[in-house]
Chains A and B, each alone.
Chain A
């Protein structure tokens, strides 16, 4: 059988799905590391401080901003799905909701980034 390809997958709702799924995967991979890092405080406060010092590196800070974006995007996309599934999907308003979700996620990441400086 013929398989559909990338053509015809350029509409906003498809990007929304892709971002939601990929952000979910990346967050799921990040979470155990996050829990392990926080668990360091069980040992001594210094252990956590040592880890936090490591996170001061620019590449890590950049990853943090990306992670905040992914978290905010997954939240915003998820809220859209809750609305679609429990209040209904409307063709006319879907694009606006997607734009609002993307905007909110970018805004969160920006605020975080600005607070890092």
Chain B
């Protein structure tokens, strides 16, 4: 029977195009391991990882959930660039039929393609990225005009799903261990612009300084990489203005 013999012992029939895939295996001291994966139409990088785990090595650890680009769980480094692997079509990202798949940068590796997201969410909390309500049970609903400048600014940044692609892409995160990062600061901005929130002062204090918005150098790696097309760069610039104003007024 005609077919291409694969390294795992099975035979692949049909189109004999192969992808040469390098996948990170192990923890921090791990290394890249090579696999050959059959190439298909409309194939995503998540499909490639899944194929390896099902057909070659069931011990390969990786995260995914929705596989349709709305949960952000499958974020990994593909050919050096952090992406949602379920939305990364092999046809677009694999030059010369080569793929290098690694876990997200700037976060501790648990195993293989899985990173420990604790620090990412800890920083989110440290940036006071949580809404603090002021209304009481008997109060009427808050009336927020969607067209108001404050609400439009918040809405422009609100769709973040916490996938950590921007955090993995950011150089300042790599250079400055205390830096809160683009996602946490972006979320803080949406709350700074939320007229219902009751922790404005504390939040500005939380995001100011060398570990906060003032460490951003407008590399715009976050805005370049965000799969939801958000602009943490713009949000962080907004935080700079807000904190400067607060400092001027003696409110910081």
A–B direct touch in complex (beta carbons closer than 8 A): yes
CA gap between A81 and B220 in the complex, in Å: 12
Give the distance in Å from the alpha carbon of A1 to the alpha carbon of B108 in the complex.
5
Chain A positions 1-34 with a Cβ under 8 Å from a chain B Cβ? 1-9, 11, 13-14, 16-17, 21
B62 at the interface (CB under 8 A from A): no
Contacting residues, chain B, for A94 (C-beta < 8 A) = 220
A109-B66 Cα distance, complex, nearest whole Å: 54
* A1-B28, A4-B171, A14-B221 known; A89 vs B237 contact (CB < 8 Å): yes
B174–A3 touching, CB < 8 Å:
yes
Residue B181 interfacial (CB < 8 Å): no
A4-B80, A4-B171, A9-B221 given; A91·B106 CB < 8 A: no
Given known contacts A1-B28, A1-B106, A11-B220, A89 and B174 CB-to-CB distance under 8 angstroms: no
Q: A-facing mask of B86-108, CB < 8 A → 1, else 0?
A: 00000000000000001111111
Nearest chain A residue, comparing its CB with the CB of B103: A2
User: CB distance A13 to B219 under 8 Å?
Assistant: yes
Decide if A1 touches B219 in the complex (CB within 8 Å).
Answer: no
Total B residues in contact with A, Cβ cutoff 8 Å: 35
Which residue numbers of A lie inside 8 Å of B, CB to CB?
1-9, 11, 13-14, 16-17, 21, 81, 84-86, 88-91, 94
Judging by beta carbons under 8 Å apart, are A89 and B221 in contact? Answer: no
In this complex, the member of A6, A9, A81 whose beta carbon has the largest number of chain B beta carbons within 10 angstroms is A9
B221 and A2 contact, CB distance less than 8 A: no
Q: Report A-chain residues with C-beta under 8 Å of the C-beta of B115.
A: 1
Of A6, A7, A81, A91, which one neighbours B218 at CB under 8 angstroms?
A: A81
B223 touches A91 (CB 8 A): yes
* B170 nearest CB neighbor, chain A only: A4
- In the bound complex, do residue B238 and residue A4 qualify as a contact, i.e. CB atoms below 8 Å apart? no
